[in-house]
Amino acid sequence: MLTAKIQKELNSQLNKELFSAYLYMSMAAYFQDVDLLGFANWMNIQVKEELMHAEKFYNFIHERGGRVALEAIEKPLTEWASPLTAFEASLDHEVFITKSINELVNVSLQESDHATGIFLQWFVTEQVEEEANTTEIIKKLKLMKDFPGGLYMIDKELAGRTLVMPATAA
């Protein structure tokens, strides 16, 4: 059984994961528009991952006898000044999500809800990967910025990203 406070916080995180998908879909559309189809592919995979994150919260709330209550999803930006700006915005967003997950872990401890704490551990680990993946691309974009064809090379690499489903579902 979930406390009212935990249920509210889990629903809030579900909304943030849905916004993450919405934000990355908007970035995918931006990359599509500027003909960087590899970048668009990378972002579209990110959208699917975020929807999977949202589904984990949806399922967990129900498993614990709670009630999912969907809220409005914030409108994302639609334009960025450059691929680097978009990825920097993506990293800022992931840092925000990491903070939000950590705060949720704190609330689960305050409420002595250890099942929620264990459920959240998957997300704690996932956020390390989320920040690392985005940081790696930012580094490449900075490294290649003065190199002719650098953007094209990164685009080609990002075209190869495929969706990897997690081995264990939280």
Give me the residues that bind ligand FEO (CB under 6 A), please: 17, 20, 50, 53, 94, 97, 130
Kindly state the smallest distance separating residue 150's Cβ from ligand FEO, in Å: 26
Long-range contacts (CB closer than 8 Å, 24 or more residues apart) made by 91-100:
91/131, 91/134, 91/135, 91/138, 93/20, 93/23, 94/127, 94/130, 94/131, 94/134, 95/131, 97/16, 97/17, 97/20, 97/127, 97/130, 98/127, 98/130, 98/131, 100/13, 100/16
Work out how close the CB of 25 gets to ligand FEO at its nearest, in angstroms, rounded to a whole number. Answer: 13
For residues 39 and 31, the answer to whether their CB atoms sit within 8 Å is yes
Q: How many CB atoms lie within 10 A of CB 152?
A: 12
C-beta closer to ligand FEO: residue 93 or 140: 93
Nearer to ligand FEO, 43 or 151 (CB): 43
Rounded to the nearest whole angstrom, what is the least distance from the CB of residue 14 to ligand FEO in the complex?
10
Name residues whose C-beta falls within 8 Å of residue 148's C-beta, 6 or more positions apart in sequence: none
Nearer to ligand FEO, 4 or 164 (CB): 164
In the numeric block, the tokens 């889990």 are attached to 10
Compare residues 21 and 141 and give the one whose CB is closer to ligand FEO: 21
Smallest gap from Cβ 40 to ligand FEO, in A, equals 17
* For ligand FEO, the closer CB: 9 or 94: 94
CB of 20 to ligand FEO, least distance (A): 5
